[in-house]
Chains A and B, each alone.
Chain A
Amino acid sequence: MTVREEKAYSSTPLQPIMRQGTDWSLVILKVQRIIGRILLYAVLASGAVLFAIPLVWMVSTSLKPDGLVNNMPIVWIPPEIQWHNYVDAWNTSVPPFTTFYANTIFITVMNIIGLLVSSSLVAFGFARIRFWGRDGIFLLMIATMMLPKQVTFIPIYLFWAKIGLVNTFWPLIIPEWLTNGYNVFLLRQFFMSISTELDDAARIDGAGWFTIYSRILIPLTKPAIGVIAIQAFAWNWNNYFDPLIYLNEPSKLTVAVALRLFQTQQSAHIPETMAMTVVALIPVLLVFYIAQARFIQGIVISGVKG
């Protein structure tokens, strides 16, 4: 609202009058506006401190010796920064975190590829090809998005257990290769925003549907596909429930589950646990940082559509 007020009071031809220094009501308005601005920044800044401070505390704790964690008042910058907490924690876990990272990276990369390939194919089918029952099937897909996964995961778990694939990565990977409704829906929206005239032109030149998909639509929707890749990365990296259920051998664990295990085993060493927490968050933060512009834009686009 202040935006509008600014417009009303500062960008009007009234300003020259004020320069003559006669109109006190305008001066009062100006003072009010400055006070408003100061309040605004004060609220924004204190909110930002509240939001950021747990992360600062996490990094600070990860660099402390064990003895300083309980210290009151909080020691924000430890006198001797304990970088070795990171190395110690990384290697004290059995197997070391390198294994968990390799596992998580493997699963995450496989799932991103699978999800992108399958969702874009399915979304293309729904967005571009007119086939029997298409709209009904699409509605069905939207309806299944409301189904909580708890309803189906017990039979799915029993199925993987029966064919002996529990404690392998397959139960975590194969379902992702079969798409999910949310990503199909999002990609379909993007595909539909591209004119079908391109398809028609390509078809006159004798192109089949797959050529139109791979040569026209995919290159044109790269930013949207990037957004989905990033969301898939964050989701897979943070996923806790499925690895918790399917993986039980220590050497197979993902970072999320291993981190939890590490914390229960090392409950006396809070700095080490915080160090591994920081390390677990770094990939997500890094991807967020690199893709910030696109990521935020993408959410904004999908948000408006929703």
Chain B
Amino acid sequence: MATQISVRPASSAGPTRKSSQRRRDNIAGFLFISPWIIQFVFLISAAMIVSLGISFGETDLFNGYKFVGLANYVRMWHDELFWKSLRVTAYYTFVLVPAGIVISLGIALLMNQKVKFVGLWRTLYYLPSVVQGVAVALLWGYVLNPRFGLLNAGLKVIGIQGPKWLFSETWAVPSFIIMGLWGAGGAMLLYLAGLQGIPTPLYEAAEIDGANSWNRFIHITIPMLTPTIYFNLLLNIIGSFQVFTSAQIMTDGGPNNATLTQVLYLYHMGFVNFQFGYASALAWALFVIIMVFTVLVMRSGNSWVHYEGDLKK
């Protein structure tokens, strides 16, 4: 901007002109970002303050508000279901996210082998990740049906008597994980892009040094992909902790709360039982939990994420 002003013939008019330009830029800048400012003031800041306030009280929307101090948080601490929902959500997240990374990376590696019909493979693997939400939850509700479902029919063909999936306390969360893995094709595209971005000279140099294909994979492919893996890991942990639609539609938390995820529990408390105070406290707990795991992953990133062209201290 400074160069542009000096280019102007009128810039000789001196500092008044310059400062009026700056003032106009300030006004223009805030006008352009005003939609976000409005969102920040009302839908983020004000809502967060109110949410915190609600979490210190009792309200059901119709009968006013009663301040109860930390009672909701104390109740949460002693609430067996809260801890159960935390365990369920953590189990789901910490199996699905790593398994998803391994599977999507695996598919990307296969597709990177100069295979024919790349477009066909890419579409077939990518398609399930495009169709998400209610439709998928309904479809998988039937696919996982123990009696006539596709999954158990397939297992029967190879001689395995499938479990009761969504109707079994042990197998309900694994059912959701399998369903989540079905969408692994979305991340596959990112890995494929990452793989194609690895400069060939790196491999050629390693080959000259006598590295076999396994060594090249471990010492070149994986390190060069760590920024993409890291990005996916963070986004997927945050996303998986907020799992709701499938749990609400397919099991509504059952059997015996085996699939009661944190957001589903929060939804039950708020929008089924109308205990908005307790629901808000649950929301803040979820926020803190997600923050803790996000910070942990971010911290760990320094030691394993490799940035090409980054000066490491």
Contacts and interface: CB of A to CB of B under 8 A. Distances in A.
Interface residues of B, number: 98
Contact of A177 (B29, B35, B287): B35
A61 interface: yes
Interface in A132-175: 132, 134, 137, 140-141, 144, 146-156, 158-159, 161, 175
A184 B51 CA distance: 25
A148 B241 CA distance: 10
A130 B29 contact: yes
A61 B125 contact: no
Interface string B182-198: 10010001101110010
Interface residues of A, number: 97
B72 to A, nearest CB: 12
Interface string A31-51: 000000000110110011001
A4 B204 CA distance: 8
**Chain A facing B: main interface SS:** helix
Interface stretch (A19-27, A81-89, A105-113, A116-124): A116-124
Nearest to B119: A292
Interface stretch (B76-84, B94-102, B166-174, B278-286): B278-286
Contact of B190 (A41, A147, A299): A299
Contacts of B290: 146, 148
A181 to B, nearest CB: 8
Nearest to B230: A306
A70 interface: yes
Interface string B124-158: 11111011111100111011000110100110100
B280 to A, nearest CB: 5
A72 B25 CA distance: 71
Interface in B187-228: 189-190, 192-194, 197, 203-204, 207, 213, 216-217, 221, 227-228
A69 B148 CA distance: 7
Contacts of B31: 125
Contact of B286 (A58, A74, A150): A150
Given A4-B216, A61-B142, A129 B185 contact: no
Interface in B98-135: 107, 110-115, 121-128, 130-135
Nearest to A279: B135
Nearest to B245: A240
B90 interface: no
A4 B206 CA distance: 11
A70 B140 CA distance: 15
A238 B194 contact: no
Contacts of A241: 244-245
Interface string A87-109: 00000000000000000000000
7 contacts: A41-B115, A149-B242, A154-B51, A178-B39, A179-B39, A285-B130, A304-B197
Interface of A: 1-6, 8, 40-41, 43-44, 47-48, 51-55, 57-58, 61, 69-74, 118, 121-122, 124-126, 129-132, 134, 137, 140-141, 144, 146-156, 158-159, 161, 175, 177-181, 184, 199-200, 203-204, 208-209, 213, 234, 238-241, 245, 256-257, 259-260, 263, 270, 273-274, 277, 280-281, 284-285, 288, 292, 296, 299-300, 303-304, 306
